[in-house]
Structure 1
Amino acid sequence: MPITSRLSGLRDLDPSERRSVVTRAAELDEASLDALDPEHGLGVEAADHLIENVIGIIGIPVGVATNFTIDGVDRLVPMATEEPSVVAAASNAARMTRQHGGFRTSSTGSIMIAQIQVVDAVDPEGARLRLLEARDELLAFADAQDPVLAGLGGGARDLVVRTLSTRTGVHVVAHLHVDVRDAMGANAVNTMAEALAPRIAELAGGRSLLRILSNKADQRLVRARAVFDAELLGGPDVVRDIVHASAFAEADPYRAATHNKGIMNGVTAVVLATGNDTRAVESGAHSHAARGGGYTALSHYEVGADGHLVGTLELPLAVGLVGGATRAHPAAQAAVRLLGVASSGELAATIAAVGLAQNLAALRALAAEGIQRGHMTLHARTIAASAGALGDEITRVAERIVADRRIRLEHAQDVLAELRGAR
């Protein structure tokens, strides 16, 4: 039986019960997600091997987004975030796509770019052509640095050379394009760049300086598209206003910054849960938003011929399933098992779909009811817990402070004291 991401009643269970339900729904062994329990996850000793000067571990909640159908496959999506409403909003937005086939994605492949900078070249344009004449030699030398990658079907694919005018003169910059397959790719391309730098400097007649990957991964783009049901969104007026909100973000960088932050709420949560590099993905996304010289929205919304809302998103996603924390962190391994992806391309497709869903949920809240209503309802539970509420007290205190429109810690403490005094 195919896995279904449509799980009802999940919110009414406690965390251990939810984990059991999700484990069964994903057709995993009973212990497959145990690493998501702090008692069985990353310990201080293991953390000491991941970074320097370890003194402890900070916990981030991991939730499961439901209702996602991506390229015809249902997926339960792990999301690591401390922000209330993110997981619920993504799940709700995904539900609105199911009767229209869910999310469809496409990509440009898994090409990463390494840059080798050359300074002090006497004839920069001549140097550029000399490097291009040696393209085959340089690509072969790059492949020799990572025969395992080449054996997996990856490796160096192209050499692009630019001359760049800067305040310190004209630099020659070689871009090595590398297919990194299922890796994020930083180690592979950096190793190749280091090895190539002396020969490139020799051919260019200058001095090599920086040799490192670029996080502007514009050769590793992922696109997601979905049709969101007009009736479930709230009707044609809400659809119209979401399109207006989208146009606002496309035209205005002040709005675009917050619009794209909504996308990254979803994107970063999945990237973090799977042990990938959140900073690399975020810098790549924001650089893509500014690719035309001004900062704009990464997503777009239109009204389809049938009146439903069509949402699209394009962004670079340098993520992988091999190496780094994805292989070293037990919780990241558990998250990947839950997600059930078999390649970095499937992981990137999932992340893009979640980003689009998260963005749509925020736009719908803004256009239909204002962002605070849903967000603060969930935030109220955090406030209730901070006030000392336990178990069902959290729900009762949260409901009361929302009804009173006083979602503040001191009021939650007063309500809690009142509840306990009445018992």
Structure 2
Amino acid sequence: MHNDCIFAIQLYFMQPVTGFSKLSKSQKIDWLVTNHLNDNATARETLTQYWNEDQKLQDLHDGFSENTVTNYYFPFGLAPNFKIDGQLVTIPMAIEESSVVAAASKAAKFWMDRGGFKTVIKGTKKVGQVHLMYHGLSSEMDAFYAFAKAELLQSLEQINASMKKRGGGIVSLDLIDKTKNLKGYYQLHATFETKDAMGANFINTTLEQLATTFRLKASQFDGFSSDVPEVIMSILSNYVPECVVNVSVSCKIDEIGTINGVTGKEFARKFVQAVDIATVEPYRAVTHNKGIMNGIDAVVIATGNDFRAVEAGVHAYAARDGQYRSLTKARVENDTFIFEADFPLALGTVGGLTSLHPLSKLALQILENPSAEHLMKVTAVAGLAQNFAALHSLVTTGIQAGHMKMHLVNMLEQIGATDVEKDLLRKEYADKTPSFSALRESLLVLRS
């Protein structure tokens, strides 16, 4: 019987594994290779070659997640020459997609002599909620909240103490009636300032204490005509419309110059129209905003922050009026080209991975150990720069010419070119847009 058939039969009859988390890393790999990879020796070698030789560092990485078998590397790059609020900044970026760092660097260079990037923090509040169900009268819930609010807040004093010393803590607490959206649904809606911490653990701990006190006070309140309210769950929100940074660039039209044969006036006109299209057309807006997130995510990952939380919050913000739209805005006003955006960014520079991962700590050192607010500004700049670079190409030469040239390195690797062949093919395609078929044909010509 063919080996592939045997392997398929083995997979079909494979039994669930028990005690997997208790196996050593080597034992986990043995199980993986035997049960899923048909005893592929190359697979075992691939997994183990990414282990760190420094065992202490490897143990640190293994502690970040569960059931780890190896490390998964991202390139860690630098985008220099960003002029942000008058200061030069080098931005660390961790991303696997080619052309992103190059595009950001190109945008930085373009705006260097045109005033640079300007930023303003518009707010830093974050949100958490205790979700409740009660099917009695809403007036009874209002009466209960008036009865319990003081003790709800008082029960947070110990949890809140250290955060208050840093100028943060719980800012507000409100009972919200959501019964028009869902029968019986209420929430305790809390806002927080967490200073330089992202604050997820602090917020969730605070919310769970609120839930505990809520249950206690509800059991003592005799004004409910129905069963006492039920706490469904307590959790922070990654939607942060009050934790926002504005970032902008602007210059006179005649300062734009000629770009790839396009006059500054024509460039600005088409650029504004491209942003307007992404504002009204969701299909375009998604790709438009994905490009923004290429820049934002790369900084978020490099600094050890949670890019999934940031992504979720940003995309929710893009749809805050009921339709998904462009995050950026562009206009021409008094012969001045203006390009800007508001980005909701809940970031931290202390605690979590930012304090544990050696490269995250180094990334923050590159940024001169910023506050959370300054990191918000830098991250927002990376997002706006990425969008500017993408639109710069789209309204002039098109996106593929530059992108495919940057992708050439990966393509040459995939077709198996040697170092000498790579050099020759790079020269051959210096003025041409590469494709896999064309590269393979050129490689065959070289080898013949």
TM-score by length of 1: 0.84
Distance across 1 between alignment mates of 2:56 and 2:415: 29
Distance across 1 between alignment mates of 2:269 and 2:139: 52
Distance across 2 between alignment mates of 1:107 and 1:135: 31
Matched residue, 1:216:
239
Deviation sequence 1:22-43 (CA, Å, 0-9, x none): xxxxxxxxxxxxxxxx777994
Q: Sequence identity of aligned pairs in percent?
A: 35
Residue 401 of structure 1: how far off its partner (Å): 4.5
Distance across 2 between alignment mates of 1:384 and 1:70: 37
Return the match for 2:75 from 52, 58, 61.
61
Amino acid at match of 1:368: T
Does 1:139 find its partner at 2:153?
Answer: yes
Amino acid at match of 2:325: T
Q: What secondary structure sits across from 2:271 in the alignment?
A: helix
Residue 132 of structure 1: how far off its partner (Å): 5.6
Residue 417 of structure 1: how far off its partner (Å): 5.3
Matched residue, 2:24:
none
Matched residue, 1:312:
340
The answer to whether the 8 A contact 1:131-1:200 is kept is no
Matched residue, 1:195:
209
Amino acid at match of 1:333: K
Distance across 2 between alignment mates of 1:122 and 1:184: 37
Return the match for 1:104 from 96, 102, 118.
118
Q: What secondary structure sits across from 2:208 in the alignment?
A: helix
Matched residue, 1:285:
314
CA distance 1:281–1:42, change in 2 (3 Å): farther
Return the match for 1:334 from 362, 381, 384.
362
Aligned residues: 382
Distance across 1 between alignment mates of 2:181 and 2:117: 46
Matched residue, 1:415:
442
Distance across 1 between alignment mates of 2:332 and 2:56: 46
List alignment gaps of at least 5 residues for structure 2: 1-51, 219-227
CA distance 1:274–1:39, change in 2 (3 Å): farther
Does 1:80 find its partner at 2:94?
Answer: yes
Residue 371 of structure 1: how far off its partner (Å): 0.8
Return the match for 1:363 from 391, 401, 415.
391
Q: What secondary structure sits across from 2:294 in the alignment?
A: helix
List alignment gaps of at least 5 residues for structure 1: 1-37
Does 1:174 find its partner at 2:203?
Answer: no
> Mean alpha-carbon deviation: is it higher for 94-103 or for 385-394?
385-394
Residue 396 of structure 1: how far off its partner (Å): 3.4
The answer to whether the 8 A contact 1:61-1:82 is kept is yes
1:147-296 to structure 2, matched below 5 A, reads: 147-165=161-179, 169-202=183-216, 205-227=228-250, 229-231=255-257, 233=259, 234=262, 235-296=264-325
Q: What secondary structure sits across from 1:51 in the alignment?
A: coil
Distance across 2 between alignment mates of 1:311 and 1:42: 47
The answer to whether the 8 A contact 1:44-1:56 is kept is no
Residue 187 of structure 1: how far off its partner (Å): 0.5
CA distance 1:167–1:318, change in 2 (3 Å): closer
Distance across 1 between alignment mates of 2:57 and 2:273: 48
Distance across 1 between alignment mates of 2:242 and 2:142: 21
Distance across 2 between alignment mates of 1:42 and 1:339: 26
Return the match for 1:346 from 359, 362, 374.
374
Distance across 2 between alignment mates of 1:256 and 1:132: 44
CA distance 1:239–1:123, change in 2 (3 Å): same
The answer to whether the 8 A contact 2:160-2:170 is kept is no
Residue 405 of structure 1: how far off its partner (Å): 4.1
Q: What secondary structure sits across from 2:272 in the alignment?
A: helix
Aligned-residue RMSD, C-alpha: 2.4
> Mean alpha-carbon deviation: is it higher for 333-342 or for 216-225?
333-342
The answer to whether the 8 A contact 2:155-2:210 is kept is yes
TM-score by length of 2: 0.79
Distance across 2 between alignment mates of 1:237 and 1:258: 23
Q: What secondary structure sits across from 2:179 in the alignment?
A: strand
> Mean alpha-carbon deviation: is it higher for 225-234 or for 91-100?
225-234
Residue 415 of structure 1: how far off its partner (Å): 3.2
Deviation sequence 1:348-405 (CA, Å, 0-9, x none): 1000011001001111111111111111110112111223345565353234346554
Distance across 2 between alignment mates of 1:162 and 1:302: 38
Residue 224 of structure 1: how far off its partner (Å): 0.5
CA distance 1:296–1:133, change in 2 (3 Å): farther
Q: What secondary structure sits across from 1:245 in the alignment?
A: helix
